[in-house]
Amino acid sequence: MLQPFVNEFSMDDQYKFAINLVETLSQYGDISFMLCEPGGGILHVNSTFERTFGWTAQEAIAYNPALCDEEEAARFLNILSEQRYSVANVEIIRKRKDGSCFQAKESVTPIRNEKGEVLAYACFTLDLSENTLNVLSKSDDEESFRALFDSNPDAVFSLGLDCCLTSANSALEKMTGYKQDQLIGKTLDHFVVPRAREVVIDRYQDALKGISSQFETMMYSKDGEHLLVQLVTLPITIEGQVKGVYCIARNVTEQKKTEDKVTHMAYHDALTNLPNRRKFHEHTQQILFFAAKNNEKAAVLMIDLDGFSAINDAYGHTIGDTVLQIAAKRMQNCIRDIDMIARIGGDEFTITLPHITEADHAVKVADRILYELNKPFYVRGLKFEVSGSVGIAIFPDDGHTTDILLRHADTAMYRVKENGKNSFGLYSGEMRQTATFRQRIERELLNAIKYNQFVLHYQPQFDVTSGKIVGVESLIRWIHPERGIVYPGEFIPIAEQSDLIVPIGEWVLRTACMQGKMWYDSGHHNLRMAVNLSARQLQQDCLVERISAILQETGLPPSSLDLEITESVAIQNPETVIQKLKALADLGIQISVDDFGTGFSSLSYLKLLPIHKLKIDRTFISDIANQTDAAIVSSIVALAHNLNLEVVVEGVETTFQREWLPKLGCSMMQGFFFSKPVPPDHISNLLK
Ligand code: C2E
Ligand code: MG
Ligand code: MG
């Protein structure tokens, strides 16, 4: 009889295997199976059991009926206890539910846990009176033996004591591509790959000793294809003697491929096929572990593509995706095989460099990457210019964990962005201070919102032709409890990098609109209130709704509000920005381009935006006596007027400037010459 159980399998495996095998065998309608507790209680029976004994599975489990008479039971238990450690093959008279008896051949296998304790017995009962499947013990019953063999979807074959194939089913033919007669008489070497042979032979020898196993191995087919196979080896025991080994082989190559694919997906970015953040993390963790052990340095690089979102927004995701793929490839070519590059976000990439002797190595890699990214990108006949900002953190100098190194590389990368992009930066001690400084300011800003430490000052804008104040620009100040007045240049960029700019910006808008409404109500209907909007605020999805709600809440007419955006904001996300600006303009709000001339937008581009006013940056007029500057200013003014745009000149400080500018065509001015930004009651006085 087959001895399908091995003590080596886990309880779960054995149980599953048993059920599986029994279910397969019971298709032939002959073998009853039951799983019993050591005390005899029935745990599970199959359908053949139900047919043979007449008890349903529920009845059998619930009533635990006697399946033979007492005398026979005692004899049976006796045999079992003698055979405590192995399989018992017995002949027994079994009793059905209707009281009738039948001669049966039974194989009982103890199922043990790791400690060797018996957890259950698996009992196979072959009804000899039916006498249909004594095939396994009778060599002359070739036909039904074949049937069992051949209809098995798994490849089944037997090996003799000389380790040569004695039989094989058609599934093995299908799997290996060899015809049966090409296999019979051959050793396993014929289709087990060389490096797997030793293990297979070991397990074969175990089976000869009565120990079955289940393991994965590599076989190959007739045409050399490698197959990953799950192999079960079972001893063939005939009348108590091991005569050979049955092998059941299942080709799991495809299954394994699917599993590998799923794992790959979990650890890779679908677009670039680079490792993703999770993989990067796990890998870097290991690199750091070995670096620490071997007293070595390692580097973590953070790379952000400059100008990518503009391409993505202006030309769409398909082009954006291709740019990312090209960038990924180029960067991959800049690193060694032992380095790893990952894509961890939109246009953010990270690189780990193990085994480096000094930071200089990382710098060279960063240099190469920048060089590669600076080459033009050609997508669908279009040419794009992209560059990169790279931050570098070194293990162990800049941190001991992946998280800290990443954070520090990020800080260094941000510093590069602030300083004009397209470069690399090392996280240095100085940056560490900046980072903590920034963190401190962020914390303090939170308090500033909570404790109302912000105030707005207003700077008037004059029309020198009429000599009247035509508008005021609201400028935020932070009345810091220790440091006194803090100017926006010190905290607005930090607020912009965190999300704090959103609540701060909203406070500014509300306060400015409230103030504007007060002046409006006191009769200054033509006074415009200018408010600065930061890039981050323009990314806010509900910006238009928020602004219109604030206008309603405060009662300021939309036509009294000017929103100032910088050129760089305007060109960063053209499509979405244009949409929002149009919606704002539709409300009646006017849009001004602040610090005009410092960015790189062209007037023709600005034509696409619904803007009303240009504010010429003060750098252009600081040296207005200079011919070039004067020429620039007058041409800006001429072009702007052509486009029906108003022009305001910022930073007018001197009488000379005040006198000259009207000659260049500018009559609207703002600057210290007229007034510094002042608290609202000063403006009220001026207005009078
Ligand atoms: P901005 O919008 O260009 O504001 C004009 C800046 O120039 C103000 O600096 C103002 O004090 C300064 N200024 C005005 N006239 C003169 C002059 O004659 N000579 C010189 N040298 N400077 C002059 P401030 O108040 O320090 O603001 C700096 C920047 O901070 C602003 O530039 C604006 O971009 C930003 N900012 C100010 N308030 C806010 C705000 O509420 N929200 C946002 N997002 N940004 C703000
Ligand atoms: Mg401004
Ligand atoms: Mg300005």
Q: What is the CATH number of the domain that holds 641?
A: 3.20.20.450
Residue 571 falls within a domain, yes or no?
Answer: yes
Ligand 1 atom with minimal separation from the 595 CA: 3
Residue 435 falls within a domain, yes or no?
Answer: no
> Which residues of the chain are under the pLDDT cut of 50?
1-11, 13-14, 17-18, 24-28, 131-141
Residue 499 falls within a domain, yes or no?
Answer: yes
Pocket test for ligand 1, best of 532, 550, 657 (most atoms within 8 A of CB): 532
> Which residues, 6+ apart, have CB-to-CB distance to 63 below 8 Å?
55
Nearest ligand to the CA of 530 is 2
What does DSSP assign to residue 190? G
SS3 state of residue 608: coil
513/606 same-domain check: yes
Residue 19: the pLDDT is 52
391/474 same-domain check: no
Residue 281: the pLDDT is 93
Residue 21: the pLDDT is 52
Ligand 1 atom with minimal separation from the 670 CA: 15
Distance 473 CA to ligand 2 centre (A): 7
Residue 262 falls within a domain, yes or no?
Answer: no
317/465 same-domain check: no
512/383 same-domain check: no
285/401 same-domain check: yes
Name the β-bridge partners of 563. 531, 591
165 ligand 1 Cβ < 6 A: no
Task: Decide which of 201, 224, 256 is a domain's last residue.
Answer: 256
User: What total of structural domains would you count in the chain?
Assistant: 4
Order across the sheet with 31-36: list the strands. 42-45, 31-36, 118-127, 101-112, 88-95
Ligand 1 atom with minimal separation from the 459 CA: 14
Residue 12: the pLDDT is 52
Residue 136 falls within a domain, yes or no?
Answer: no
Ligand 1 atom with minimal separation from the 476 CA: 38
Pocket test for ligand 1, best of 459, 475, 655, 672 (most atoms within 8 A of CB): 475
Residue 671 falls within a domain, yes or no?
Answer: yes
Residue 28: the pLDDT is 43
Residue 85: the pLDDT is 52
CATH number reported for the structural domain that contains residue 236 in this entry:
3.30.450.20
575/494 same-domain check: yes
88/210 same-domain check: no
> Which residues, 6+ apart, have CB-to-CB distance to 349 below 8 Å?
274, 302, 303, 304, 327, 328, 331, 341, 342, 343
Residue 80 falls within a domain, yes or no?
Answer: yes
Residue 592: the pLDDT is 94
Q: Which residue's C-alpha comes closest to atom 23 of ligand 1?
A: 651
Q: Which residue's C-alpha comes closest to atom 45 of ligand 1?
A: 532
Name the β-bridge partners of 349. 303, 343
475 ligand 1 Cβ < 6 A: yes
503 ligand 1 Cβ < 6 A: no
Task: Provide the token pair at 75.
Answer: 């004899």
Find, among 432, 300, 415, the residue nearest to 366 by Cα: 300
461 ligand 1 Cβ < 6 A: no
485 ligand 1 Cβ < 6 A: no
556/669 same-domain check: yes
532 ligand 1 Cβ < 6 A: yes
Residue 549: the pLDDT is 97
Q: Name the pTM for this structure.
A: 0.48
Q: Which residue's C-alpha comes closest to atom 11 of ligand 1?
A: 677
636/493 same-domain check: yes
Residue 391 falls within a domain, yes or no?
Answer: yes
488 ligand 1 Cβ < 6 A: yes
653 ligand 1 Cβ < 6 A: yes
Task: Decide which of 233, 256, 279 is a domain's last residue.
Answer: 256
Task: Provide the token pair at 444.
Answer: 């303090």
Helix (H), strand (E) at residue 616: strand 613-616
Ligand 1 atom with minimal separation from the 564 CA: 2
Task: Provide the token pair at 55.
Answer: 């008890």
Distance 641 CA to ligand 2 centre (A): 20
275 ligand 1 Cβ < 6 A: no
Helix (H), strand (E) at residue 126: strand 118-127
Residues in the chain: 688
Q: Are 636 and 614 in contact (CB under 8 A)?
A: yes
Residue 669: the pLDDT is 96
SS3 state of residue 385: coil
79/193 same-domain check: no
CATH number reported for the structural domain that contains residue 335 in this entry:
3.30.70.270
* Bridge-based pairing state of the strands 155-159 and 165-168: antiparallel
Q: Are 509 and 531 in contact (CB under 8 A)?
A: yes
Q: Which domain holds residue 236?
A: 155-256
Residue 1: the pLDDT is 32
Pocket test for ligand 1, best of 613, 650, 682 (most atoms within 8 A of CB): 650
pLDDT tens-digit map of 250-272: 888 888 887 788 788 888 999 99
Q: Are 88 and 101 in contact (CB under 8 A)?
A: no
126/181 same-domain check: no
Identify the burial level of 184 via C-beta atoms within 10 angstroms of its C-beta, where 0-12 means exposed, 13-18 middle and 19 or more buried: middle
Taking CA atoms, 169 is separated from 146, 215, 222, 242, in Å, by 8, 20, 16, 21
492 ligand 1 Cβ < 6 A: yes
Task: Decide which of 384, 401, 427 is a domain's last residue.
Answer: 427
Dihedral over Cα of 419, 425, 427, 430: its sign: negative
217/170 same-domain check: yes
